[in-house]
Every structure is written in structure tokens, then in C-alpha cells.
């Protein structure tokens, strides 16, 4: 005969804190899948060039207008844990490849929807996940087969890839210009490491300033420092600049502990001040001696030092951010010096022009025409703050698209063509596997078809007709065919110029599978009671009934 240990007269044992909620088994799975499907439905209408925008208002009244999946999800204040997991997936997609955020959320929602149907047919979630994994392996293998190689000097194809990324952004007539900025910026910072090409997004600085139009945004072969020249008597424009980067104060450092200097003789006071001046002049003389005519200082510059620098005709900027100092070093070839005694001529960097300019209401220092800059800047202009923010998001996506392409130098067709091709291949392979797993693989293929279906719906086309024609094309092995939403027809995407980096698609497939698998594995949700605002923390104690 069994009995509850520690329980008397059938009384329950209280383990969880009062107010804690617990959902188990099928109910937990249903709740989690429902939350993920709702998030997917919210962003679905933003997919593709004909997608709609969302307006988001936060708790303090700030407004964001965008159709960027990652931004929409990031700005939403979501409570449900499964919904939060989906948002994390979109953020991971945005961080790693910068594009495909809406696609990954829509695909995850669809995988979970089909998984729910299979679970209702008494198929265990583990079997569904195994079938999905087999389908993913086939998709990743076939993805490499339909991908085409590209070279960095093929500017025409590069532009098509970037234009595909920008197609869904609200840039209007400035799309081509922003695409050129992104391509030229990334090509400037490409490096070769261990025989492979590499580009780091950190080496591209984006500076936003209100005013003028998007068409007047420009690429600067160097760095823009959001500071002004420190002294009015200094030159505001220096050509053939020899640049010193100094991470040390142009000041007399104060002692770390409190100290008092008592001077009884007035003449000694003058000597004391003269000594300070002499030390500062020595610092400036050192800079002049090595031949520098521009100084960027990460720390402060004393008023007396400013006077001596101005007298020597040196342009100086103080309190430059550490990140800007690193970019300046990469752009100009200078070495950041932390001690004036170490400063030598070989530590200096070069720029064709260093100039203070007034952009809008602010003065900024432009360091440009560098010989071989490994860090560049893009100055974004727009008439509206909302437009400026959306342009930044678009430029970021375009830059990340280029960086993703550089990783393996291959591209695949867009417009839902890749998803249709992979779905077709999974359907052909599925019969080789056991019955229940085969059903999950077919569900994976059907989920992939949601991408061209959604593109068609968002463009006001008839999705059934589009999908029927696409299936027919892909059955014949014409794997380049997808939805050309602007013309409303099924076309070869390679010829139409709608192409995407293979890395973006690969990341979408992996992330969507991982998110769906993680949510399907959950069969128990234990949620602690939320503290009410102003509620005092009560001392917690374990409560047992005897």
C-alpha cells in the first residue's frame, strides 16, 4: 500500500510559493504554440516588398514606424515566455546575419502550427522533432546545390543582392543610393585572414544627422568624429594631415590623495605656475617635434596646452570616444600612444583632409581621403527623424547582407524560390523514412511553402494559383522560380535579379528549427507570482503541512 510521504490525512504538500501558477502536459504545449503563432501572425504582413508597416508606441509615447521584423519584436513589451523565446530567435538572426528576421519568425510559427496538428494525431513531440531534423539536414544539403558562386568584383550581382534586402524598406527613390553606400563601405573594409575573406561590421561607423534628403547621404573614406575643434584659434582645415592619437591627458595630473601646497613667498607662486606651463609646453613640443599637425586626444586638453597647440598651427580634438579612437587607428594607420615619451614619427597616421564642418546644428570633424582605410563612415541624412531611423535600419540590413555574402561567396534565389525548391526536395526524400517521421518531414516542407504563400498574400495575389504553378515548376527541376511580387507573376528569380546570400537562408532554417524544437520540448510551465508595484519584499520561508 502506497502513501504520500510527509502528508497527513490526505493533505497536499505545498512546495511552490503561494500565487505560483503551473501548466502541464498538453495544455502547456498548446499555450506555448498559440503564443508563438500569435507573434508570427503579427509580423507576417510585413514580409516582402509589398509588406505593410507597423506603428509602435512605447510606454513613454515614443513612436516607431517600421516593417523590420527584429525592430517590431524588440519594441513590443511581451509577457508570455514562449513569445519571448521567439523574439530572442529574431534577435539572434539579426545579430548573426542582419536579415531574414521576419522570415525566421513566420517559419517558426508555421512549423509549430503543423507540429500541433501532428501532436493532435497522437504523434509524440520527440518524433516530430526527429522528422523536422531530418528535413533540415536535407534542406541544408540541397541549399548548397542550388547556390551559385560570386566574385567581389561582380558589382552588378552584388547590387542585385543588396537591392533584394532593401526591397521591403521604405526608402523610395533613395534605394539605389543606399545600396551603393552599403556595397562600397563593406568592400573598403574587407580583409583576408587565413586565406578567407572577412569583414567586421564594427569597422563601419554610421552617423545620423537630420536635414537634407536621403540622397545626400555620403560615404566618407575615413572617420567622422562627433566633436568640434577644441580652440577657436586652431586651423579648421588641414590637408595632408599627420595624425597623432593620444590616450593621455594634455594636463597636469592631480595627485590621487588630497594634498596641500603652501607658498609663502609671492615669487614662488609665479615659479610654481611657470613650472606647470613648462611641463605643458614640453608635451606640445614633443607633438610638434614628431611632425604631427592633427591631434586626437582621448582625455582632456588644458587651456594652456590648447594655446600652445593653436600657436603651433595644430588642429586638436579632445575627449574622443575609445571606439572612435580605435576606428581612427584603423582608418589612418596611426598607433594609439599612452605616454608622450613613447610618441615617435612612425606612430603617426595619415589622412588627405581633416576638416571641421557644420552638419545641421552640430560641428563635426571629418577625417577623410585616407590611403587604405580599414574603417569607414557613412553619414546618413533625412528630413524626418522616423525616416532617418528607418534608413539606418535599412542600411544596417544591407551591410550585414554584404558581410554574410563575403563569408562563403554564394547566393540563392529569393522570392520564395529557395523555400519552394527545398520543400520539393524534402518531399522526394521523405518516403525513405519511417511513417511518423515522414509525416513530420512533409509538415516541414509544407511550412517552407508558407514563405511564397505569404509573399503572394501581401502583394494581393492569388496564393493558390501561385503555389500550384511554383510546385509544377519545381517538380520539373526549375529551382530558380519564385514570386516576382512587383509584376505579380512567377518568374526565374536569377534572371529577375531577386537573389539573397546563402548564409541568410541557412541561418533562417537552423534558427527556425531550433526555436520550434525548443518550444515543442516544453511540457511544464511554472510561473512565479509577479510582485505588485510598491509591494514590500517579504521574507520567504518554506511552507509545509504536517
Q: How far apart are CA 535 and CA 302, in angstroms?
A: 51
**373 neighbors 188 (Cβ within 8 angstroms):** yes
397 in active site: yes
Q: How far apart are CA 370 and CA 127, in angstroms?
A: 58
Residues with Cβ within 8 Å of 81's Cβ and at least 6 positions away in sequence, in order, are 32, 525, 527
101 in active site: yes
- Which CA distances in Å does 544 have to 4, 164, 296, 527, 538? 13, 62, 66, 20, 18
274 in active site: no
User: How many CB atoms within 10 Å of residue 126?
Assistant: 11
Q: How far apart are CA 297 and CA 313, in angstroms?
A: 16
At residue 379's C-alpha, the angle toward residues 376 and 383, to 5°, is 165
Name the phi and psi angles at 138, rounded to 5.
Answer: -65, -45
The helix (H) or strand (E) run that includes residue 477 is none
Helix axes 81-96, 502-521, angle to 10 degrees: 160
Residues with Cβ within 8 Å of 105's Cβ and at least 6 positions away in sequence, in order, are 39, 40, 43, 69, 73, 86, 89, 90
Q: Is 525 helix (H, G, I), strand (E, B) or coil?
A: strand
Given 46, 71, 101, 130, which residue is catalytic? 101
**231 neighbors 309 (Cβ within 8 angstroms):** yes
Helix axes 155-166, 175-189, angle to 10 degrees: 120
Q: How far apart are CA 395 and CA 178, in angstroms?
A: 7
Residues with Cβ within 8 Å of 186's Cβ and at least 6 positions away in sequence, in order, are 199, 204, 399, 402, 403, 406
Given 102, 103, 175, 454, which residue is catalytic? 102
Query: What 8-state DSSP symbol labels residue 250?
Result: B
CA atoms within 13 A on the CB side of 176: 2
127 in active site: no
User: How many CB atoms within 10 Å of residue 12?
Assistant: 8
**408 neighbors 502 (Cβ within 8 angstroms):** yes
Query: What 8-state DSSP symbol labels residue 301?
Result: B
Given 68, 99, 302, 324, which residue is catalytic? 68
Report strand pairing: 223-225 vs 218-220: unpaired
Name the phi and psi angles at 356, rounded to 5.
Answer: -90, 130
Q: How far apart are CA 89 and CA 92, in angstroms?
A: 5
Name the phi and psi angles at 351, rounded to 5.
Answer: -145, 140
CA atoms within 13 A on the CB side of 100: 31
Catalytic residues: 68, 101-102, 397
Amino acid at each position: 500500500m502506497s502513501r504520500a510521504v510527509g502528508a497527513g490525512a490526505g493533505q497536499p504538500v505545498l512546495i511552490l510559493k503561494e500565487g505560483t501558477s503551473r501548466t502541464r502536459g498538453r495544455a502547456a504545449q498548446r499555450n506555448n504554440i498559440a503564443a508563438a503563432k500569435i507573434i508570427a501572425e503579427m509580423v507576417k504582413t510585413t514580409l516582402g516588398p509589398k509588406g505593410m508597416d507597423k506603428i509602435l508606441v512605447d510606454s513613454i509615447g515614443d513612436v516607431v514606424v517600421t516593417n523590420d521584423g527584429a525592430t517590431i519584436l524588440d519594441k513590443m513589451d511581451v509577457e508570455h515566455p514562449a513569445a519571448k523565446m521567439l523574439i530572442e530567435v529574431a534577435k539572434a538572426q539579426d545579430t548573426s546575419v542582419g536579415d531574414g528576421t521576419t522570415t525566421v519568425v513566420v517559419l517558426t510559427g508555421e512549423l509549430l502550427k503543423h507540429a500541433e496538428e501532428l501532436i493532435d494525431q497522437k504523434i509524440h513531440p520527440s518524433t516530430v522533432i526527429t522528422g523536422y531534423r531530418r528535413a533540415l539536414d536535407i534542406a541544408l544539403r540541397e541549399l548548397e546545390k542550388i547556390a551559385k558562386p560570386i566574385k567581389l568584383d561582380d558589382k552588378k550581382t552584388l547590387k542585385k543582392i543588396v537591392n533584394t534586402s532593401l526591397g521591403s524598406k521604405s526608402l523610395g527613390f533613395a534605394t539605389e543610393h543606399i545600396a551603393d553606400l552599403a556595397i562600397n563601405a563593406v568592400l573598403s573594409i574587407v580583409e583576408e585572414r587565413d586565406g578567407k575573406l572577412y569583414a567586421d561590421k564594427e569597422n563601419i561607423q554610421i552617423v545620423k544627422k537630420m536635414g537634407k534628403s536621403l540622397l545626400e547621404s555620403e560615404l566618407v573614406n575615413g572617420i567622422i568624429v562627433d566633436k568640434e575643434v577644441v580652440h577657436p584659434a586652431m586651423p579648421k582645415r588641414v590637408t595632408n594631415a599627420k595624425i597623432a592619437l593620444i590616450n593621455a591627458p594634455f594636463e597636469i595630473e592631480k595627485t590621487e590623495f588630497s594634498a596641500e601646497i603652501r607658498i609663502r613667498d609671492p615669487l614662488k607662486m609665479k615659479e610654481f605656475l611657470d613650472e606647470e606651463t613648462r611641463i605643458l609646453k614640453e608635451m606640445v613640443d614633443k607633438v610638434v617635434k614628431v611632425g604631427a599637425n592633427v591631434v586626437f586626444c582621448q582625455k582632456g586638453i588644458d587651456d594652456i596646452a590648447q594655446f600652445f597647440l593653436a600657436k603651433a598651427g595644430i588642429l586638436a580634438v579632445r575627449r574622443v570616444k575609445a571606439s572612435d579612437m580605435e576606428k581612427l587607428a584603423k582608418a589612418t594607420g596611426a598607433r594609439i600612444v599612452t605616454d608622450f615619451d613613447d610618441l615617435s614619427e612612425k606612430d603617426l597616421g595619415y589622412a588627405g583632409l581633416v576638416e571641421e564642418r557644420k552638419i545641421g546644428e552640430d560641428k563635426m570633424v571629418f577625417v577623410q581621403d585616407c590611403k587604405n582605410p580599414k574603417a569607414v563612415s557613412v553619414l546618413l541624412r533625412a528630413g524626418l527623424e522616423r525616416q532617418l531611423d528607418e534608413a539606418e535600419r535599412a542600411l544596417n540590413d544591407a551591410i550585414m547582407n554584404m558581410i554574410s555574402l563575403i563569408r562563403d561567396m554564394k547566393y540563392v534565389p529569393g522570392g520564395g524560390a529557395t523555400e519552394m525548391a527545398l520543400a520539393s526536395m524534402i518531399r522526394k526524400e521523405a518516403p525513405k523514412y519511417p511513417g511518423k517521421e515522414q509525416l513530420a518531414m512533409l509538415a516541414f516542407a509544407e511550412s517552407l511553402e508558407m514563405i511564397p504563400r505569404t509573399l503572394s498574400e501581401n502583394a494581393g495575389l492569388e496564393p493558390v494559383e501561385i503555389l500550384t504553378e511554383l510546385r509544377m515548376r519545381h517538380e520539373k527541376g526549375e529551382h530558380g522560380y519564385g514570386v516576382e511580387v512587383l509584376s505579380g507573376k512567377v518568374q526565374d528569380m536569377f534572371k529577375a535579379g531577386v537573389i539573397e546570400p546563402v548564409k541568410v537562408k541557412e541561418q533562417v532554417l537552423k534558427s527556425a528549427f531550433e526555436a520550434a524544437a525548443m518550444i515543442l520540448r516544453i511540457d511544464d510551465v511554472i510561473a512565479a507570482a509577479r510582485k505588485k508595484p510598491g509591494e514590500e519584499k517579504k521574507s520567504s520561508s518554506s511552507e509545509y503541512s504536517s
